[in-house]
Amino acid sequence: MERKIIGRKPDALFLNFERISAIPRPSYHEERIAAFLENFAKERGFFAVRDQANNVFVRMPATPGCEKIPPVLLQAHTDMVCEKNAGVEHDFMADGIDLVVDGNFLHANGTTLGADDGIGVAVAMTVLSGEIPRHPVVECLFTSSEEVGLGGVCEFDFSLVTARRMLNIDNNELGLVTCGSCGGLRTDMTLRGKREDDLRPALKLSFSGFAGGHSGENIHEGRANAIRAMGLLLKSLSDLPGFRIASLDGGGKTNAIPRACQAIVGADDPDALADAAEAFAKDYLSGLLPIDRGATFAVESFGDAFCFTKEDTARLLSILTESKTGVIAMSRAKPDFVEWSQNLGVVTTEDDDVAILLSSRSSVESQLDASEEELTALAKKNGAAVKCHNRYTGWEFAPVSDLRDRYLAAYRHALGKEARVNIIHAGLECGEIFGKVPDMDMISISPSVHDLHSPDERLDLDSAEAFWKTIERFFEEL
């Protein structure tokens, strides 16, 4: 393997990141990374278990003199969001990530980097590699399918875990100590349409180049949703004579704000359709925030198409424009904290079926209940099948935490500055773990990773070195 990250300390940390980056690990396909981690642990003589969900649990004995210190659990997830730029040839099922070092940053060549959460996996591997000279029993839990609803951690047998203090290494900013997170829910709607018997002249309409981003971390920033943009555009065209939808495709993951969306649509007068679409898009794009100013709109001739009926076109537009997306409510207790949001994440057309996938998040269980009820009602109103699933619980902030205090002290002593404590509007595995092990004292930490879930994702290499210094000092504090 040709090394890309040279001259950074500890070298083992960056070597481990490069090693796992060479292993394909899309969500639901973690078998190769799980086998690698299991072998990594067993080669060092550690207890290691790999379950049917491809979670891997490892226990490393304490060093001499540290046997009586309570154990610590390090936890990270092995899967990654697989997004790539248009025109990039990359098979996430077969190809490793092509790493690029650009000054102080590490990114991938046109794809997501996988530092979410590859850097967490690499940190835990580096502890297992013996880079910490004195430590208590260290347990490591590498979970699967985190990015698609926390599937792996929900299936893990926590009776294996003896530790009652845990470092979740799945954050995105050095110096940020997360101590609470929201719960979530996924909703899948499927509208089975009926197509008209006659071909209709059609156009291809495309929005692309939106900033996208994480549907929890970035939802409050006002970033535009390409699917919602297309829905509003199509709604504005729906009164044109003969307007029909033939297909709609956009987004890639329910937990990523859609960056692009395209529609095949027909009308009696294609020229009038094109003019109206371009006028709406010009006005819409001019109102976007600066982060989305790279977005573009295009109209292309498509030829003839079999379109959905007028009634099914209307049903589809109802779902696209009436489902809530973005921030729904801010916290009254913490005004800067998003309490409830929804993301219209994916729409795909296959034959006569249009699938619409949404992700709801809230720190209040009753609000997740409301999302489920509202989306179910919207689906039924429009004759769509609906499934609500992958619900996970939130993680309640603990007023008192010895682990948090120890980590804050370690950060201060290692780096000479103070870390910040926060609660995030994103789903962390900590919520599920808290539900299963309610006496677990835990925090979520990591180096700085920018633009998660997009091909612009990048790891701050200086922050990774600083993070490791903090981990070293944390074990000294123990």
Q: Are 145 and 28 in contact (CB under 8 A)?
A: yes
Distance CA 386, CA 247 (A): 19
CA distances from 173 to 158, 198, 446, 449 (A): 28, 55, 6, 6
**The tokens 């609470």 sit on which residue?**
180
| Pair of tokens at residue 280 | 């709406």
| Pair of tokens at residue 434 | 């808290």
77: Cα within 13 Å, side-chain hemisphere = 30
Cβ count within 10 A of residue 54: 26
From the list 18, 146, 173, 196, the catalytic residue is 146
Task: Judge residue 290's burial from the number of C-beta atoms within 10 Å of its C-beta, 0-12 exposed, 13-18 middle, 19 or more buried.
Answer: exposed
Helix (H) or strand (E) holding 370: helix 365-381
Residue type, 419: A
Name the nearest CA neighbour of 122 among 22, 217, 7.
22
Helix (H) or strand (E) holding 387: strand 385-392
Would residue 146 show up in a list of annotated catalytic residues for this protein?
yes
From the list 18, 30, 79, 116, the catalytic residue is 79
Would residue 79 show up in a list of annotated catalytic residues for this protein?
yes
Would you mind telling me the total number of residues written for the chain in this entry?
478
For the annotated catalytic residues, the residue numbers are 79, 146
